Amino acid sequence: MDEKNLDTVACPRCGSLKHTPRSPELKADVTRRINRAVGQLNGIRAMVEEDRYCGDVLTQLAAVESAVKAISREVMRDHLETCVVERIQAGDTEVTDEVMDLFRKFM
């Protein structure tokens, strides 16, 4: 999906359009972390192709999994502090259902 289409993505639950402007700092941090995880995955792919020891591959997989979870926590924190707060302040308490669904995905 290209960036300009992000403005026209409808919420599957309510049909409203959603767009999340993020701070330049958050974008830079998340992008840096994603790039690092992608680099780790590329390294793991090379390890598998080189028939490296399974224990070493598993250790690296655990590291990249931890890195991805850290990215998710950062985006979740930002979501709670911005999108969720704004929706609750606007009187939309149904956002709590969305938050609970997101929590279930990460627990």
Task: Quickly state the pLDDT bin for 20 (edges 50, 70, 90).
Answer: confident
DSSP H helices, the chain, are 24-49, 54-79, 85-89, 95-106
Q: What are the Cα distances from residue 100, in Å, to 64, 71, 76, 106?
A: 25, 19, 12, 10
pTM strictly above 0.85:
no
pLDDT score, position 17: 61
Taken as a whole, the chain contains a residue count of 107
Average pLDDT of every residue of the chain? 87
